Structure 1
């Protein structure tokens, strides 16, 4: 399996992607279709995962801070900051890379092996821009909203699970998620969400656009795309954390 793509070829594709659209109206219509397909259809899985993760983190923080010298408000604070700083941005992006990324690669890859992309090129259409640009814009647009949804339902999951499990009371949990709150954490994670959204859309699109062979190769390209996207997400997470939190 090829784990790293050709950087020069990737940027050459991006140059074609951000070329001037032939008919803006067609791009706008395709954009709304991609927002629905890639974004709106991902909301429920984000909500379900976030609720369970929020509840799990609340219980784990409660047991790890069961020492009487630690205030119980640390449970809510720890859950809040973990959701904002890492899970709802980075971990969610890794999950979405599997769902959205594989979808993009398989869709574009299938069009490549069935020569539909070649047909678009023959008709004078910038296939890279028409097929990939709406996907990139849609995912970059929807990712910050998915982040906000994830944080909200993650905190809600902790609010419900904590009292049910008997590890923290509702007033203590609410006080904890309000304690020592830094609004910049939200800004930091929104920036990460935009960057990760670009990676989740553009890297799988690259593998789909340049796939060669048949349906078997499309499947392999989808797997390789997800692996590469996850590696790049973690790499840029490290870079952005170093640049923006120091």
Structure 2
């Protein structure tokens, strides 16, 4: 007699998967609140935050600068050959600046930091979990959230907007190199269009996105690493590998979804 349980219908499977995703999002939100509150738990947190700022921020400067300069150059090139068809090549400065400040700067910065620092956060905390180092912290009466997660969240909140600002400035310089130096647009017109077109609301929108992206990346990466031992798709090193992959993929997806939602509200 066959005693195996019947497989759920497609609709039931979709419901189970949806409930699982909603549950995980709720768990991550509680994880974020817990980590955020522990930022202020001790004056010793400052040293840990500074160390994480060095890892997340300073070590990302080179890659952010490279991506920023080439993104600006591509925008300048594509924007010029689009605008010249309408006799509006003088608007290139505004097109480059607004594209970077409102959209590409925060999004590309967040995705690049996710690949460089977010994956490292998930892997490092995941290795600590499977090697029982987190359990050892609990035995020594040290709160693992306060010790491992809170400094990373605080550092991300600080570093993401700063790196986004750097990306924007370098991207505008890249657009200048393409539009003015290579294609011959007047330098004064390029910068005048930037000054006259960019409002403080555009800058605020970009920084708001960067701030939220920093919270998302730090929370998702730390959460995936912290609960590596509960994964059903692998244990040990395989679990750490899957946690790191999930952290990067989930962070990028949430970055794009959040970008759309914020843009919809702020436009």
Counterpart of 1:227 (choices 249, 255, 263) is: 249
Larger RCO (CA under 8 A, 6+ residues apart): 1
Q: How many Å separate the matches in 1 of 2:106 and 2:34?
A: 29
Is the counterpart of residue 43 in structure 1 residue 61 in structure 2? yes
Q: Which residue of 1 aligns with 2:3?
A: none
Q: CA shift at 1:181, angstroms?
A: 2.4
**Length-normalised TM-score, structure 1:** 0.91
Q: How many Å separate the matches in 1 of 2:89 and 2:138?
A: 62
Aligned length: 243
Does structure 2 conserve the Cα–Cα contact (< 8 Å) formed by 1:17 and 1:130?
Answer: no
Q: How many Å separate the matches in 2 of 1:78 and 1:19?
A: 40
Q: How many Å separate the matches in 2 of 1:16 and 1:59?
A: 46
Is the counterpart of residue 63 in structure 1 residue 77 in structure 2? no
Counterpart of 1:207 (choices 215, 221, 224) is: 224
Q: Which residue of 2 aligns with 1:83?
A: 100
Q: Which residue of 1 aligns with 2:213?
A: 196
Deviations 1:105-164 (A, max 9, x none): 011111101110000011111101210000000011111111111111111111122234
Does structure 1 conserve the Cα–Cα contact (< 8 Å) formed by 2:64 and 2:112?
Answer: no
**Length-normalised TM-score, structure 2:** 0.85
Counterpart of 2:47 (choices 29, 40, 45) is: 29
Q: Which runs of 4+ in 1 moved over 3 A?
A: 2-5, 18-23
Q: How many Å separate the matches in 2 of 1:208 and 1:105?
A: 4
Q: Which residue of 2 aligns with 1:217?
A: 239
Is the counterpart of residue 137 in structure 1 residue 154 in structure 2? yes
Q: How many Å separate the matches in 2 of 1:104 and 1:31?
A: 14
Q: How many Å separate the matches in 2 of 1:201 and 1:23?
A: 18
Cα gap change, 1:196/1:20 in structure 2, threshold over 3 Å: closer, same or farther?
Answer: closer
Q: How many Å separate the matches in 1 of 2:95 and 2:214?
A: 26
Unaligned 5+ runs, structure 1: none
Q: CA shift at 1:23, angstroms?
A: 6.5
Q: How many Å separate the matches in 2 of 1:45 and 1:228?
A: 21
Does structure 2 conserve the Cα–Cα contact (< 8 Å) formed by 1:100 and 1:200?
Answer: no
Does structure 1 conserve the Cα–Cα contact (< 8 Å) formed by 2:153 and 2:218?
Answer: yes
Q: Which residue of 1 aligns with 2:259?
A: 237
Who wins on radius of gyration, i.e. which is larger?
Answer: 2
State which drifts further: 10-19 or 133-142.
Answer: 10-19
Unaligned 5+ runs, structure 2: 1-16, 230-234
Q: Which residue of 1 aligns with 2:129?
A: 112
Does structure 1 conserve the Cα–Cα contact (< 8 Å) formed by 2:56 and 2:113?
Answer: no
Cα gap change, 1:146/1:15 in structure 2, threshold over 3 Å: closer, same or farther?
Answer: closer
Q: Which residue of 1 aligns with 2:30?
A: 12
Q: CA RMSD in A?
A: 2.0
Is the counterpart of residue 122 in structure 1 residue 122 in structure 2? no
Cα gap change, 1:64/1:232 in structure 2, threshold over 3 Å: closer, same or farther?
Answer: same
